[in-house]
A and B are shown apart, each in its own frame.
Chain A
Amino acid sequence: MIGIIDYGMGNLHSVSKALERLGLPYFLSEDTDELAKADGLILPGVGSFHDAMNLLKEKGQEDFIKKWAADGRPLLGICLGMQLLFDGSEENKHTQGLGFLPGYAKHFPGITEDGTAYKVPHMGWNKLTFKQPQHDLLKDVEEGHVYFVHSYVIQTEDEDVLVADSDYYENVPAVVGRGRVLGTQFHPEKSSTIGMKILENFGRIVAEGGNTYE
């Protein structure tokens, strides 16, 4: 069973509907006692990094998620939810993240080094390039296009956490992971067949991992 963490900032409906279509059992909750009964968690999110971290703290979810990740249990962050898995964001000067993955979210500058202006947010369908084609999340996934909407982008020195990336005037980490802490910058629930396959793969990781400690 997948638990979707409801902390008041995601489009929970789309994610839920996608899981429904895949026949993956799930529930939504903000209650950590309830969420603890799940076999895998999804951390959705759209909007401000700062607000999201505050809400996770207020609802007592931050410590719960930290313990969850430390126990090696499956966690998938989507969009802002993925960025929260990293050290922090330059939003509001500096906001501390969950710190499971090394890296930092910074705003797209909107202008290249040679002075060409480009649009922010990075919105639309962009192509994935696989860095770790053998990764469990990418099983039977085609190296095609997925749907992005974001104004901040993760910068990381640690290539090991990059599962797939994309390109929007700079490198865009698109699928990230270390152990069972996983994330997608794009919206798999809005990314047609490729996105659905990735969610299905997460469902399989959850089913295989079960509710057991590593």
Chain B
Amino acid sequence: MITKRIIPCLDVKEGRVVKGVQFVGLRDAGDPVELSSFYDGQGADELVFLDISASHEGRKTMVDVVREVAGTLAIPFTVGGGINTLDDMRTILRAGADKVSLNTAAVKRPELISEGADYFGSQCMVTAIDAKFDEELHSWRIYTHGGRTPTEWEVTDWAKEVVERGSGEILLTSMDQDGAKDGFDLSLTETVNNAVSVPVIASGGAGAKEHFSEVFSETNADAALAASIFHYKETSVEEVKKHLREEGVRVR
């Protein structure tokens, strides 16, 4: 049967991984290629690269990074951040990424998802959703621009919309839990899971290996994503997988 995926996320700015710390045996913690091979060796099932470059030059550098990573990595990887047009998608996918992730651009113009899915196939269209609980809405509201801008969308409505438009996967980040390190947002994850029929990646809140077994036993999430917990060596992909195996969660 299919296994649950563990996905480290790397923030890349002007071609360099930020927030990365020095791992033993790693010459350059800022080198996306070296860091991705490191995570591959640890048993990561997939990687997500988030381009947080502000400049046009930084974006162009990202394409080189993608090309280099694709040349060495034998596991799938997704690239998000700064993808606004069909052309942007084509450039990143041609450079060797397996999937592209859309966030703000999809909310601004949902047709972009349909166009991407028609052109490249749903399997490479991920929609990243940043959601925050809203008292008024009695549910979670979608935010864009890295969580700065509230939208009118309620999370299950938006999740259904993006799947209907051809998104093949949802990367769901809880803004309430993000950075809190006390576990994934189980309620949000399960709510979205129940609303759609495509794989959901839970993100935001991982602070210990137990949080991974929790999200997989309490929800039907297909994958869990984390950044700092891996980068700052609070735990490793290897340790998380060992723990999941002990808890009876199927992993690779």
User: Among the listed stretches B25-33, B88-96, B182-190, which one makes contact with chain A, having 4 or more residues with CB under 8 Å of it?
Assistant: B88-96
Number of interface residues of B (CB under 8 A): 30
The answer to whether B96 touches A13 (Cβ under 8 A) is yes
Are A126 and B3 neighbours in the complex by a CB distance under 8 Å? Answer: yes
Q: Does B122 contact A (CB under 8 A)?
A: yes
User: Does B121 lie within 8 Å of A195, measured CB to CB?
Assistant: no
The answer on a CB contact under 8 Å between A192 and B74 is yes
- Min Cβ gap A22→B in Å is 10
A5-46 Cβ-contact flags toward B at 8 Å (1 or 0): 000000101100110110000000000000000000000001
CB within 8 Å of A: which B59-111 residues? 70-72, 74-76, 93-96, 98
Q: Say yes or no for A165: interface residue by CB 8 A criterion.
A: no
Q: Is the CB of B199 within 8 A of A17?
A: no
Q: Quick one: which of B71, B95, B121, B199 contacts A47, CB cutoff 8 A?
A: B121
User: Of residues B71, B74, B121, B124, which shows the largest number of chain A Cβ atoms within 10 Å of its Cβ?
Assistant: B74
* Contacting residues, chain A, for B11 (C-beta < 8 A): none
- Kindly provide the distance from the CB of A153 to the nearest chain B CB, expressed in whole angstroms: 13
| Residue in B5, B71, B121 whose beta carbon sits within 8 Å of that of A20 in the complex | B71
Instruction: Convert A108-139 into 0s and 1s, putting 1 for each residue whose CB lies closer than 8 angstroms to a CB of B.
Output: 00100000010111111111000000000000
Among B5, B70, B94, which residue has its beta carbon within 8 angstroms of that of A124?
A: B5
Q: Is the CB of A123 within 8 A of B98?
A: no
Residue B76 contacts which of A18, A147, A196 (CB distance < 8 angstroms)?
Answer: A147
Compute how far the CA of A195 lies from the CA of B74 in the bound complex, rounded to whole angstroms.
8
Among B72, B75, B120, contact of A147 (Cβ-Cβ < 8 Å): B75
Q: Which of B204-245 contact A (CB under 8 A)?
A: 222-223
Q: Contact between B74 and A126 (Cβ–Cβ < 8 Å)?
A: no
Pair B74/A18 contact, Cβ less than 8 Å = yes
Tell me, yes or no, whether B15 is within 8 Å of chain A by CB.
no
Which chain B residues lie closer than 8 Å to A148 at the CB level? 2
Contact, CB under 8 Å: A192 / B40: yes
> In the complex, what's the smallest C-beta–C-beta distance from A160 to chain B, in angstroms?
25
Minimum CB distance partner of A120 in chain B: B197
In the assembled complex, the Cα of A20 lies from the Cα of B222 at a distance in Å of 32
Q: List 26 A-B contacts (CB under 8 A).
A: A11-B96, A13-B94, A13-B96, A14-B96, A21-B71, A46-B123, A47-B120, A117-B197, A121-B168, A121-B198, A122-B2, A123-B168, A123-B222, A124-B2, A124-B223, A125-B45, A126-B2, A126-B3, A145-B3, A145-B252, A147-B76, A149-B123, A168-B1, A168-B2, A191-B75, A196-B74
Question: Considering the complex of A and B, which 6 residue pairs feature the smallest CB-CB distances, nearest first?
Answer: A145-B252, A47-B121, A125-B252, A13-B96, A149-B123, A126-B2
For the A-B complex with A14-B70, A190-B74 known, give 8 more contacts whose Cβ atoms are closer than 8 Å.
A14-B98, A46-B123, A120-B198, A124-B199, A127-B3, A145-B252, A191-B74, A191-B75
